[in-house]
Amino acid sequence: MSTSLILGISIGFVIIITLFGVAFGKKDSHNMEGWLVSGRKMGSFLVWFLLGSEIYTAFTFEGLAGYAYKNGAAAFYNVALNDVAYALGFLILPTIWIIGRKFGYVTQSDFVAGRYESRGLGVFVALTSAIIMIAYIDLNITGLSAIMQVIGQGRISTTWADIIGFLILTLSVFFGGIRGNAWQAAIKDILMLIAIGVMFVVIPVHYFGSFGHMYHQFQSEIPSHLILPGVSKNEGPTWLITTVILNGLGQWMWPQWFGVSFTAKSPRTLKIQSIFMPLYQLVKVAVITIGLAAVLILGFSKNINGNNVVMMLALKTFPEWFVVLFTVAAMLAAIIPAGPIIMTSSSLISHNVIHPVFPKIKDKTIYHLTKILIFPLTIIALILTLVLPSLIASILLVAYDFISQLFPAVVIGGLFWRRATKQGVISGIIVGWVICAYLVLTKHDPLGGWNAGFIALFANLLVFFIVSLCTKPVAKQQLDEFFKEAFPTTKVNDEVHIPRYLQDQSSN
C-alpha cells in the first residue's frame, strides 16, 4: 500500500467521523446556547472527552515527543502543569458553572463583564483573547501539515494539507456545534489511546528487547536527556517550577476551556471530570518516552524536525493498517481540538464585541453571525501560518504566557476578592503583557532561570492589588447578587440563601 493511499484512506475515515459528530450535534445547534454550550446538559462522559480532546491535541501527539527529542527531561513540565490545573479546576469550575447558569453566561467575557459590571472590560477581554487564540489554531494547523507531509512523503503541499483539514474542521463545527465536537472527541481519544498505547509497548520491545533495556540505554547513552537543564541548556529546576505554576494557573484562562464549565449539566459533573482527567497524563508520559527513544532509534540531529519523530517511528515500525489507524488518530488530534477554539473565538467577537457595540441586533442574528465568523477566522489563521510563519512562531511563544495574565481577573477577583476593580484588572493585564512580550521577544526567557510569564504574572498581581485598592469597587448590592448562589453560606439581607440545585440534591 502506497503512502498516498494510506493518506487517502485516513482522510476518508476522518470525514466519516466528522459526519458522525455532525449528526449527533446538529439537533442541539439551533441557538447560541445549544451550539456553544449544548444547553448546559452534558454529562461527565462527554465533558471528560471534550476536555481531553481540547487539552490533548496535536501538540501531545507530535509536539511533546518532539520537545522530549530536542530538550529531554524538560518535557515533563507539560505533565506536571495539567495536574496543577485539574486540582484548580476541581475548586473553581463548579462555582463558575453556578454563576454562569444563573446569569445565562456562555463565554468567559460574559463572566468578566458581569463580575466587574463593565461591558467595556468584557469587550477588551473578548477581543484580546480571540487574537491570542489564533496562535492555538495555528498550532493545530502546523500539526496537521506535519502529519500529511510525513505520510505523503512530500507528495502533498503544505497549502493543500491545511486547506483539506480545515475545510473538514469548519464544516463540522458549523453544523455540529459543541455537542457534535464532543462525540468526535470521544472517537478521537479512543483511537489516540490505542495508537499511543501500542507504540509505547511495541517500540521498547522491538528496538531494545524490553523496557528495562531501553531505560538502561537512556541512562548510558543519552544521560543529558534525563536531567535538568541537560540538553535544554537553560531549562533548569527553577524554570520547571515557575513554568508549571504559571501554566497550571493559566490553563483555565483559555476561553475555550473556561467555557467547557458552562456545558456541564451540574457542578458534580465538573468535579468528576477533574478527578478522572489525570488519567490522560499516562498518554503524555508514554509520548515523552517515545520521544526519548527516538533519540536512539533515529539519532539526535538538528536537521530532524522534532514534530515529525512520532510519525517517522510509526512508518518505520508498524504495518500499513496500523499506520492508517495512527494517522487517523493524529489527524483528528489536530482537527477536533481546534473546533472549540474557533467556536469560542467567533462567539467572543460576535457575542462580546459586536453585540455590545450594536445592542439592537437580535440574538438570532448574533447566533448566525457567530457561525459565519468561523470561516474568516480560520482563513486568517491559515494565511498567517503560510505567509508569516516567523511572526506566528513569535506569537505562539508568548500565547500561554499572555493568556495566563487573566488569572487575577478571573479567579482572584472573579471569585474571591470582592475589592478587585476593573481598573485594577486592566492595569495588571497590560503590565503583565508588556513585561512578558519584552522578555520573550528580547530572548530573556527564562530570566535568571525564571519563566518570563511567571515574572510578568507577579508584576501583574502587584499592579492589580494596588490599583484596585485605589479605585472604586463594584457596589456591594451588585456583588451580593453576583455571588449569592455561588457561595450559599454568605448572608444576604440577614438570610442564608440556598441555591435551588443544592435544595434538589439534599431532597434526593
pLDDT for 209 equals: 94
* CB neighbour class for 279 (10 Å; exposed up to 12, middle 13-18, buried from 19): exposed
Has residue 272 got a pLDDT over 90?
A: no
- Asked if residue 411 belongs to a domain, the reply is no
| Interval 396-402 mean pLDDT | 77
The count of structural domains within the chain is 1
- Asked if residue 386 belongs to a domain, the reply is yes
Mean pLDDT is highest, among 154-163, 197-206, 225-234, for 197-206
- Asked if residue 441 belongs to a domain, the reply is no
Q: What gap in Å lies between CA 11 and CA 191, rounded to an integer?
A: 15
pLDDT for 379 equals: 82
- For 112-131, the pLDDT digits (tens) are 999 999 999 999 999 999 88
CATH number, domain at 108?
1.20.1730.10
pLDDT for 32 equals: 63
Q: How far is CA 297 from CA 207, 288, 289, 291, 491, in A?
A: 8, 14, 12, 10, 64
Contact predicate 165/422, CB 8 Å: no
pLDDT for 36 equals: 59
Q: What gap in Å lies between CA 157 and CA 142, rounded to an integer?
A: 13
Q: How far is CA 396 from CA 23, 42, 129, 436, 453, in A?
A: 34, 31, 13, 13, 13
- For 474-505, the pLDDT digits (tens) are 999 999 999 988 887 545 555 544 444 444 44
User: Which triple of cell numbers denotes residue 470?
Assistant: 485605589
Contact predicate 257/81, CB 8 Å: no
Q: How far is CA 357 from CA 179, 349, 481, in A?
A: 29, 11, 25
Has residue 38 got a pLDDT over 60?
A: no
- Asked if residue 429 belongs to a domain, the reply is no
Give the residue, 243 or 279, on which the prediction is more confident.
243
Give the residue, 389 or 149, on which the prediction is more confident.
149
Contact predicate 135/399, CB 8 Å: yes
- Asked if residue 410 belongs to a domain, the reply is no
Mean pLDDT is highest, among 186-195, 291-300, 347-356, 460-469, for 460-469
| Interval 277-284 mean pLDDT | 86
* Residue 376 CB neighbour total at 10 angstroms: 11
User: Which triple of cell numbers denotes residue 116?
Assistant: 466587574
Of 345-354, 370-379, 431-440, the range with the lowest mean pLDDT is: 370-379
Beta carbons within 8 Å of 220's beta carbon, 6+ residues apart = none
- Asked if residue 472 belongs to a domain, the reply is no
Domain that holds residue 98: 3-397
User: Which triple of cell numbers denotes residue 154?
Assistant: 512530500
Q: What gap in Å lies between CA 251 and CA 261, rounded to an integer?
A: 13
Has residue 20 got a pLDDT over 80?
A: no
- For 39-98, the pLDDT digits (tens) are 566 666 667 666 666 677 767 777 788 889 988 999 999 899 988 999 999 999 999 999
Backbone angles phi, psi at 101, to 5 degrees: -65, -40
Backbone angles phi, psi at 492, to 5 degrees: -125, 120
**HEC readout, 265-298:** CCHHHHHHHHHHHHHHHHHHHHHHHHHHHHHHHH
* CB neighbour class for 500 (10 Å; exposed up to 12, middle 13-18, buried from 19): exposed
Of 62-66, 315-319, 451-455, the range with the lowest mean pLDDT is: 62-66
Has residue 361 got a pLDDT over 50?
A: yes
Query: Is residue 154 left, alpha or beta, with left meaning phi > 0 and alpha meaning psi from -120 to 50?
Result: left
Q: Is 378 helix (H, G, I), strand (E, B) or coil?
A: helix
| Interval 311-334 mean pLDDT | 86
Of 291-295, 314-318, 365-369, the range with the lowest mean pLDDT is: 365-369
- Asked if residue 439 belongs to a domain, the reply is no
- Asked if residue 455 belongs to a domain, the reply is no
Of 457, 202, 452, 174, the C-alpha closest to 339 is 174
**Residue 22: pLDDT band with limits 50, 70, 90:** low
